[in-house]
Structure 1
Amino acid sequence: MKVAIIGAGNMGSAIARGLVLGKLIKAANITVANPTNKKLESLKDFNKELQVTNSNQIAVNDAEIVILAVKPWLIKEVIDKLTFDFHKQIIVSVAAGIPFSEYEQWTDSSAKIFRVIPNTAISQQESMTLIASHNASKEEEHLILNLFSEMGMAILIPEKQMAAATAITSCGIAYVLKYIQAGMQAGIEMGLYPQDAMKMVAQSVKGAATLILNNNTHPSVEIDKVTTPGGLTIKGINELEHNGFSSAIIKAMKASSN
């Protein structure tokens, strides 16, 4: 199976690297197109078997899956200049905020289209990737899920849930990073070296996430395990709530979904 990736920016390059590191697609069957060479050269340095080109159409011609990894405001322009085989090719767009109804106007009513929203952790193969499908078969949905599951965790959701889910995952990763930054600042104020504080907080976040994902448990259950009566943790938890911590997170995510 051959894959074309249009755009070698941060997301396009991360997807290319993730596919190479996976087992489903051979590097020689991946072609990345970009108008300039610097990022393409970087990908060739990563894996010499990767195919690169300055022509979007050359990349698309033999591909069964076409991944559009360009900014949302460039999607229509890129699509308009390409010739697809809508009966054979699957189009995957990573551009946020563009509904299937618009892709139908730019392509064909029978086009098999996926909207895919990874987050920046895809560069470490730890993305939480959202996938919605249009005109695709169950087998095609399974294929795209498997591809992106090699780069973290992927979930298929209805298009109507995309905005809310994007706020929680694609935008939400920034809020987690903001928590790490705040914890780091607190550590420095209390006398820790910056790099030590950063590692301590980051590993604690990673550990908390692992507890939830591996045990399919609930945050409240895990919080109860470390909040002994009269202890230090419950004092900190109550201070967070007095200062509107939960409310701030909820408001931020709701704001990001609009």
Structure 2
Amino acid sequence: MKNLKIAIIGCGNLGLSIVNGLLGTEGFDAKNLIVTKRHPENLDYLQPLGVTVSADNMSAARDADLIILGVKPYNIPLILKEIAPSITADKQTIVSLATGVTLEEMYQLLPADMAIYRAMPNIAADIQESITCICGKNGTPATEQTIKELFDSIGISIVIEEHLMEAATVLGACGIAYVLRFMRAMTQGGIQIGFDAKTANTIVNQTVKGAAELIIKKGIHPEAAIDKVTTPKGCTIVGLNEMEHHGFSAAMVKGVLASYGKIEK
């Protein structure tokens, strides 16, 4: 990936998360990165870092080996029609970050033998802690490895079947917001029991980080870890039961299903 020329077309929030992750990756040369946006002046601050900023999607696509589409789903057809004359199946690989736009839909506008991938990172790419789910077609093992290396540079990546991409979007991308909402609520509870906002936030942040690392490093089920904290007649089980009485787990599952239903529509 060291000498790979990457273009991010439609560099919005998610695209910027990838940019920040790449720029923080040892050995990555910012001169190999070009980003485009309708109003490129909003990205001018990246130029002193070595990144090329442009409004010319065709030129960006022509010069790139890997083209990442960061535009909204409804703009994918327009962008593909725009850059199609500038790309060839034997030179470029397309990676779409758009939710709900299938490989089949993109192949209607691109050469049938082009390597096309879908990828869904999340905003933790900013700090190289994203989970990115990937699926694709027509890529060689070397191409797929390159795609994985790209997204591994901003966290970890897994390859899945395309029919799971919408579910991956909900669990991995929307999931960040679910966790943050939980953290906000927990912080508010901390304030109510006596902490100032800053201290409560610090405690909650580290508690959530510690919980995640515990599960990852120990390889245990969350319920097994919960059992270690809950003692008979203790304050932990009282709090957990009160949350469940008010539908905590059910609300989380319903939220996941609601988000999935929105994508499926």
Is structure 2 residue 44 aligned with structure 1 residue 32? no
Match of 2:125 in 1: 122
Match of 2:67 in 1: 66
Match of 1:56 in 2: 57
CA separation in 2, counterparts of 1:32 and 1:201? 36
Q: Is the 8 A contact 1:33 1:54 kept in 2?
A: yes
The alpha carbon displacement at 1:52 in A equals 2.1
SS across alignment from 1:257? helix
Cα deviation 1:100-153 (Å, max 9, x = unaligned): 110011112212111111112112221111111111122211111111111112
Q: Is the 8 A contact 2:120 2:168 kept in 1?
A: no
SS across alignment from 1:170? helix
Structure 1 stretches lacking a partner, 5+ long: none
The alpha carbon displacement at 1:24 in A equals 5.8
Is structure 2 residue 85 aligned with structure 1 residue 81? no
Match of 1:204 in 2: 207
Structure 2 stretches lacking a partner, 5+ long: none
Match of 1:165 in 2: 168
SS across alignment from 2:240? helix
CA separation in 2, counterparts of 1:90 and 1:41? 26
| Mapping for residues 134-173 of structure 1, pairs under 5 Å | 134-173=137-176
Match of 1:7, as an amino acid?
G
TM-score when normalising by structure 1 = 0.94
From 158, 183, 193, the counterpart of 2:196? 193
Q: How many residues are paired up?
A: 256
SS across alignment from 2:220? coil
Percent identity for Structure 1 against Structure 2? 41
Match of 2:228, as an amino acid?
K
The alpha carbon displacement at 1:209 in A equals 0.7
Match of 1:119, as an amino acid?
N
Q: Is the 8 A contact 1:13 1:43 kept in 2?
A: no
Cα deviation 1:46-89 (Å, max 9, x = unaligned): x1x22222211111112110111111111111110112112221
| Mapping for residues 105-116 of structure 1, pairs under 5 Å | 105-116=108-119
Is structure 2 residue 224 aligned with structure 1 residue 221? yes
CA separation in 2, counterparts of 1:159 and 1:144? 16
CA separation in 2, counterparts of 1:245 and 1:156? 31
SS across alignment from 1:79? helix
Q: Is the 8 A contact 1:70 1:95 kept in 2?
A: yes
Cα deviation 1:4-63 (Å, max 9, x = unaligned): 111222122221221122146421111112232322212124x1x222222111111121
CA separation in 2, counterparts of 1:7 and 1:24? 25
The alpha carbon displacement at 1:206 in A equals 0.9
Q: Is the 8 A contact 1:8 1:39 kept in 2?
A: no
Range moving further from structure 2, 134-143 or 204-213? 134-143
CA separation in 1, counterparts of 2:202 and 2:223? 24
Match of 1:125, as an amino acid?
Q
CA separation in 2, counterparts of 1:25 and 1:56? 22
The alpha carbon displacement at 1:226 in A equals 0.7
Match of 2:105, as an amino acid?
E
Q: Is the 8 A contact 1:122 1:151 kept in 2?
A: yes
Q: Is the 8 A contact 2:17 2:124 kept in 1?
A: no
Match of 1:92, as an amino acid?
V
From 236, 241, 244, the counterpart of 1:233? 236
Match of 1:93 in 2: 96
From 19, 42, 47, the counterpart of 1:44? 47
